[in-house]
A and B are shown apart, each in its own frame.
Chain A
Amino acid sequence: MPSNKKHSWKHKHLLDVDSLASTEYKSIFSLAEKYNKLLNNKKMIKKTLSNVNIFNLFYEPSTRTRASFELAGKLLGANVINIASNISATQKGESLINTIKTINAMHSDIIILRHEDSGAAYLASQNTDKSVINAGDGSHAHPTQALTDSYTLLRKFKSLKNIKITMVGDIKHSRVARSNILLLTKLGAKITLCGPKVLIPKSFSTDNKSRSKEFSFKNINIEHDLDKAIKNADVIMALRMQTERQHSKNIPSLKEYAKKYQITNRHLHSINKNCLLMHPGPVNEGVEISKEVAESSLSQIEEQVSNGVAVRMAILELIYLNN
């Protein structure tokens, strides 16, 4: 991966990947690579964020994303304050805006927000002069996960142009899928979406004419048959079944879902030998993928987790040093 010394970053916030320029995500990737090497070799890391106060404001339970941000901040020397939903004032009915205003007044520098409603990070960013990083908003976006996934793939493929990526599962309720689709198509990948009809938005397909031209997706098709969808894939991304967001009656049960869409040992024989398997976690074992597959040599799940720390270090540094 090329590492250019001068990193480009012009956003105050990281709310989604839509608005990122290619120079910006390339900066993230190259800086992440630097930190990845330092971490892997147990080298000293310069405390570029010493005296920086980072607030982790999580309205939804999360272990890995929160820990990943916390570690990333601490490795760069920042003070990281965790506010979990169970202790945050939201429980007492304080509005999101008021909580943001309170944190804004607490000498904060960066606010990392995870929220159950789509658009929450946008609302937060409009009500603070501090930088906001979206750590997942409703079903809308999860930019740091998408950047981690693309970074993980770029370490394997050098370029994602024409790389065939099949996403399997609950696309409809998945913020990971949304951000990944936007970023991966920008990077030139070809995407196939696979899953039950009710869980795949029709308008995501390139054939769909309801989008106006300037917003239309390139290189996305929908295939409901799992075997067909993964047959020639270079990468399979299994998505978590978002049972907490699935309210419609016609959504299949986890059991029914697993029967048709679980990636199991059986599939390992029919797919590309070098096909990579990803999952943003946490895995519902025996639902999206079987235990054997999760532990197979194709699985990138642990790598995604460790890369996530380096990517978040890069994001925190770029945002702080350029604002």
Chain B
Amino acid sequence: MKTLIIKNGTVIDPNSRLNKKIDIEIKQGKITNMKPKIMLEKKHEVINAKGLIIVPGFVDLHVHLREPGFTHKETIKTGSLAAAKGGYTTICAMPNTEPAIDTVKSLMNLNHIIKKDAAINVLPIGAISKKRLGNKLTPVASMQKNGIVALSDDGDHLDDESMMIEAMKKSKQFSIPISQHCEEQALVHNGHLHEGWVSDHLGIKGRPREAESNMVKRDIAIAEKFGGHLHIAHISTKESVKLVEKAKKYNLTVTAEVTPHHLDLTHESIGVSNIGAKIQEPLFNTNMKVNPPLREKEDVDACIEGLNNDIIDAIATDHAPHSFSEKSVVFEKAPPGISGLESAFSIGMRLVQKKKIKFEKLIDKLTYGPAKAWNLNEIKGMEGIGKIKIGHNADITLINKSKKWTYSKQQIISMGKNSPYIDNVFQGKVVMTLRRGKIIFNHRKLEVL
């Protein structure tokens, strides 16, 4: 393997607070040198990053890769390639597969597929409960030994309080986060979008905001009493953000993530053909159907503020691919979920362009923020995740901040084309992704010096 030099780019590394023109030398997949001017030699291979921003490979704490069991929606291979295109080098795979990742056996099988097919680091998450039924805990210790980085019954909330207490005790014992999909099942039963004027208008039962905040409150109370690490997945209401803020003030181990769509869209979008266009008639766009649902403007604002104040630790996509035919049904029958890996960064750039969030903050929430939230760097072999640091893996993403591009259906690598952003024009694009020093995504053939 030749020595690789990334030249003339600006490096932003949130962990070390670096923001500077610096060249990077990569040998054997590791970063071996970083300094303002690395002299080129004949043996060097060079990436000219002039005008580009160099950041750590993105980290996603919440991705549904669907394999095994639902390979008509996505596979480890297609999902990890989609992630690479989105700038990700590390993603955490939710266990709501078939079978669910609830035993060492199913985990070993998953690890085997990952080893064979994954284009990037895919870190497995184990189910909290057997078959995700919410009534019997999974073997945490042995699953952790085999690589799970968190526990989650995502898709459903763990309603049973005594089970949640037991889960949090395990969390404390094994220092492993519990990623909770906070929506009380009894309250959201048969609901398909945010309970509010749009659900009233469309005549479809809503999912009330209290379904989320009630459970965030309950789970924080459990964390306070029993310890453990509670991670609020895809936070979406202003009340929940307030609750997490309070929990952090009390120094509880509570972390939170937010999705790009909850930072950008509201329930009103469900009645609009093109985002930003004036409402003509409700169009029941099933690609806007997601759980938790798209909320109100105040909630979007609270989530953005939460990111800025570090109440929310990470942006996570909740990438939830579905096949075209599954989404081509009436709104109430469509499965919830948005395919999000390839648009996340560019949606974030929209917030930057609207001056709602600083670029450096966006990068932090996509890289070191999530790594730190789950203490991924404390796991052996993962010390460099979310960082650009000498001695660590060269997992690196190159960004063109001003590049305009159209998010067209044909270009989506994920098998799930279920995005409300199809045909949107974005400004800001991931142009190259390197994993362990190897180019795994290249937007265009970059000039070689």
- Check: A4 CB closer than 8 A to any chain B CB: no
* CB of A179, distance to nearest CB on chain B (Å): 10
List the A side residues contacting B201 at CB < 8 Å. Answer: 178, 203, 215
Q: Are A96 and B197 in contact (CB under 8 A)?
A: no
Given A139-B204, A211-B197, also A118-B284 (CB < 8 A): yes
8 A Cβ contacts from B182-230 to A: 190, 196-197, 200-204
* CB of A157, distance to nearest CB on chain B (Å): 27
- Check: A114 CB closer than 8 A to any chain B CB: no
8 A Cβ contacts from B281-335 to A: 281-284, 296-297, 325, 328-333
Interface size on B, residues (CB 8 A): 25
- Check: A233 CB closer than 8 A to any chain B CB: no
In the complex, what distance in Å separates the CA atom of A19 from the CA atom of B272? Answer: 13
Interface size on A, residues (CB 8 A): 34
**Which of A117, A139, A201, A202 is B330 in contact with, Cβ under 8 Å?**
A117
List the B side residues contacting A18 at CB < 8 Å. Answer: 280-282
- Check: B268 CB closer than 8 A to any chain A CB: yes
In the complex, what distance in Å separates the CA atom of A203 from the CA atom of B208? Answer: 14
- Check: A135 CB closer than 8 A to any chain B CB: no
Given A117-B332, A139-B203, also A122-B197 (CB < 8 A): no
In the complex, what distance in Å separates the CA atom of A173 from the CA atom of B328? Answer: 24
Task: Describe B's contact surface by its main secondary structure.
Answer: loop
- Check: B133 CB closer than 8 A to any chain A CB: no
Q: Are A119 and B331 in contact (CB under 8 A)?
A: yes
* CB of A171, distance to nearest CB on chain B (Å): 9
List the B side residues contacting A212 at CB < 8 Å. Answer: 268, 297
In the complex, what distance in Å separates the CA atom of A97 from the CA atom of B279? Answer: 25
**Which of B197, B202, B297, B328 is A208 in contact with, Cβ under 8 Å?**
B197
- Check: B43 CB closer than 8 A to any chain A CB: no
* CB of A322, distance to nearest CB on chain B (Å): 18
Q: Are B329 and A118 in contact (CB under 8 A)?
A: no
Given A139-B204, A208-B197, A210-B296, also A118-B331 (CB < 8 A): yes
User: Smallest CB-CB separation from A174: which chain B residue?
Assistant: B203
| Proximity string of chain B (160-202) to chain A, C-beta cutoff 8 Å, 1 when within and 0 when not | 0000000000000000000000000000001000001100111
Q: Are A175 and B283 in contact (CB under 8 A)?
A: no
Given A138-B332, A178-B203, also A119-B197 (CB < 8 A): no
In the complex, what distance in Å separates the CA atom of A2 from the CA atom of B114? Answer: 72
Q: Are A15 and B278 in contact (CB under 8 A)?
A: no
8 A Cβ contacts from A193-217 to B: 201-204, 208, 210-212, 214-215
8 A Cβ contacts from A69-124 to B: 95-97, 115, 117-120, 122-123
Nearest first, the 4 A-B pairs at minimum CB distance are A139-B203, A119-B284, A203-B197, A201-B200
